[in-house]
């Protein structure tokens, strides 16, 4: 029988919100000798893509009250904010006691960095944190011994041996439109990722711009263009041309959901939700109060929907759910409304049919939706892909992702929402086996839950995952050499 290791070794791959908060919870939770290795390829930890924006106009899409890193201390972020001497400098004024304010994402990134720093400072002597700036490009596990360890190969050359590994790799850039000519994608006229600040800054200030997508990513992109002095017209295009709605302060409301009587069709959910909205309005409340009352039950609703009903939701209801669920801060919505009113921003509904490179720009061809109908063509100076992050891991060309899929250690979920995982985050391999050593958390673990992108869900997951990882029994087995992948997964 294998002896118990003298020290538990846990690797966290990715140090954005999920990775950093998971590390903080492990430092607080571990009661036995534990070494935590936090590996991040970016220069800093705690910010990730979401909170590394340099633009103070990019604010949180969730009010400050709901942004604590600790589910058992909901006012933690508020207290941190109130303790800052310059809390009102770039956040539109002081944060009120209700916490109904939307502060800058950069400030929230600083908060997460403080959370990790303080957790490390307060950690007991038997728990350690090592932060490594590197990219994990390959991962091997002993396939002949369920209690075998894991070897991570870093892009810098060395390898790291650990007992457990948690993938907290966040979001990936959207896939390019299939109708675009290769010459367009290879040119500087096409901005592949909307958070590529250098590429956005290089766009000519007078150039007409086409943004693919009309969600919150588009909103951020428009604000970034405006704040860098862009003067040209901007067209935002999506299949339905839907804009996110604006946040308003909500009040407590009792949802229709009862855990012992769950709806089993999307139609039943929508009918019950509409009834809740009517009840809320009759009580003098906004519809948002009824919609937000449903949030604690999203995971339970999704779990109880059969696979075909989940597919039906994704085909028909998802775009409308997204704009109601993921809203704009009031000050952001006011700017967007102003740009639309003065003609600087146009929202169009339609399907992109072609992107062709011209000597002086790009020609976009679109089939309009609805009453407009027909085909329209326009010459534009730049195209920005803001269609949302790529969730289909069969299409993601990332070294570690490819390694996991090619080795059979992971697989995309059937709905292509992320990696196939259990509710504990354990990776499910190509053969359907549940890993005892490899876990995925954050947006990549969305499939069992549907909602796993916002802080309230992520912090709960990190808290539970820390307890789970600390409680797993470990044995010692020799690590295998890194094996060559068996087959490549098609793009």
State pLDDT tens for residues 52-82: 888 888 888 888 888 999 999 999 999 999 8
Whether 155 maps to a domain, the answer reads yes
Q: Name, in order, each residue with C-beta under 8 angstroms of 273's C-beta and a sequence gap of 6 or more.
A: 256, 290, 291, 294
pLDDT at residue 192, rounded to an integer: 94
Whether 144 maps to a domain, the answer reads yes
318 and 332 within one domain: no
**Which of 391, 409, 389 lies closest to 489 in space, CA to CA?**
409
300 and 192 within one domain: no
Express each pLDDT in 279-314 by its tens digit: 999 999 999 999 999 988 999 999 999 999 999 999
76 and 130 within one domain: yes
- Among the candidates 325, 340, 357, a domain finishes at 325
- Among the candidates 364, 385, 406, a domain finishes at 385
The CATH number of the domain where 164 resides is what?
Answer: 3.50.50.60
281 and 186 within one domain: no
136 and 21 within one domain: yes
The CA dihedral of 349, 354, 355, 360, to the nearest 10 degrees, is: -100
Res 361 pLDDT > 90: yes
356 and 293 within one domain: no
* Containing structural domain, residue 149: 8-172+391-471
| Residue 452 near residue 442, CB atoms below 8 Å | yes
Report how many domains make up the chain: 3
Whether 422 maps to a domain, the answer reads yes
- Among the candidates 339, 365, 385, a domain finishes at 385
454 and 363 within one domain: no
Q: Is 340 exposed, middle or buried (0-12, 13-18, 19+ CB in 10 A)?
A: middle
Name the helix (H) or strand (E) containing 402.
helix 399-406
Whether 261 maps to a domain, the answer reads no
Whether 476 maps to a domain, the answer reads no
167 and 82 within one domain: yes
Cα–Cα distances (Å) from 276 to 266, 267, 271, 272, 319, in that order, read: 15, 14, 9, 6, 21
Q: Give pTM, 2 decimals.
A: 0.89
Express each pLDDT in 165-188 by its tens digit: 999 998 898 999 999 999 999 999
320 and 407 within one domain: no
Cα–Cα distances (Å) from 333 to 67, 132, 226, 393, 427, in that order, read: 20, 39, 14, 33, 39
pLDDT at residue 484, rounded to an integer: 35
pLDDT interval class at 444 (50, 70, 90)? very high
Whether 455 maps to a domain, the answer reads yes
Whether 251 maps to a domain, the answer reads no
Q: Which of 50-54, 75-79, 213-217, 462-466 bottoms out in mean pLDDT, i.e. has the lowest?
A: 50-54
pLDDT at residue 474, rounded to an integer: 65
13 and 26 within one domain: yes
DSSP state of 246: B
369 and 234 within one domain: yes
Whether 483 maps to a domain, the answer reads no
197 and 91 within one domain: no
pLDDT interval class at 148 (50, 70, 90)? low
Block residue for tokens 């011209």: 358
């Amino acid at each position: 029988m294998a002896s118990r290791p003298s020290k538990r070794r846990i690797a966290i791959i990715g140090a954005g919100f999920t990775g950093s908060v998971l590390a903080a919870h492990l430092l607080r939770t571990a009661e036995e000798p534990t070494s935590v290795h936090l590996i991040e390829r970016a220069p800093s930890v705690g910010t990730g893509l979401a909170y590394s924006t340099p633009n103070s106009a990019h604010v949180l899409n969730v009010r400050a009250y709901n942004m604590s890193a600790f589910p058992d201390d909901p006012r933690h972020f508020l207290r941190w904010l109130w303790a800052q001497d310059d809390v009102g400098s770039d956040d539109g004024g002081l944060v009120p006691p209700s916490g109904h304010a939307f502060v800058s994402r950069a400030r929230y990134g600083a908060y997460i960095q403080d959370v990790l720093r303080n957790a490390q400072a307060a950690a007991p002597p038997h728990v350690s944190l090592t932060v490594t700036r590197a990219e994990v490009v390959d991962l091997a596990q002993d396939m002949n011994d369920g209690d075998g360890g894991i070897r991570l190969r870093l892009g810098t050359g060395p390898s790291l041996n650990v007992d457990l590994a948690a993938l907290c790799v966040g979001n990936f850039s959207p896939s390019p439109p299939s109708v675009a000519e290769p010459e367009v994608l290879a040119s500087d006229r096409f901005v592949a990722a909307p958070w590529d600040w250098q590429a956005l800054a290089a766009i000519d200030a007078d150039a007409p711009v086409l943004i693919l997508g009309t969600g919150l990513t588009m909103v951020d992109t428009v604000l970034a263009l405006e704040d860098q002095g862009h003067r040209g017209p901007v067209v935002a295009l999506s299949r339905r041309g839907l804009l996110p709605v604006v946040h308003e302060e909500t009040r407590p409301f009792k949802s229709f959901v009862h855990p012992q009587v769950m709806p089993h069709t999307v139609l039943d959910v929508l009918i019950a939700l509409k009834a809740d909205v009517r009840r809320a309005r009759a009580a003098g409340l906004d519809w948002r109060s009824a919609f937000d009352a449903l949030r604690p039950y999203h995971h339970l609703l999704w779990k109880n929907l059969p696979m075909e009903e989940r597919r039906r939701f994704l085909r028909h209801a998802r775009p409308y759910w997204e704009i109601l669920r993921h809203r704009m801060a009031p000050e952001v919505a006011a700017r967007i409304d102003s740009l639309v009113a003065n003609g600087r921003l146009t929202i169009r509904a339609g399907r992109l049919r072609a992107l062709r490179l011209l000597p002086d720009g790009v020609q976009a061809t679109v089939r309009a939706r609805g009453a407009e109908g027909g085909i329209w063509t326009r010459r534009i100076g730049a195209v920005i892909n803001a269609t949302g992050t790529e969730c289909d891991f069969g299409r993601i060309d990332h070294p570690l992702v490819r390694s996991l899929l090619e080795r059979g250690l992971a697989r995309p979920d059937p709905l292509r929402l992320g990696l196939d995982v259990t509710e504990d985050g354990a990776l499910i391999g190509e053969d359907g086996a549940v890993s005892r050593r490899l876990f995925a958390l954050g947006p990549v673990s969305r499939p069992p839950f549907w909602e796993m992108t916002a802080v309230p869900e992520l912090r709960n997951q990190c808290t539970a995952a820390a307890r789970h990882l600390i409680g797993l029994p470990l044995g010692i087995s020799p690590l295998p050499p890194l094996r060559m992948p068996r087959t490549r997964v098609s793009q």
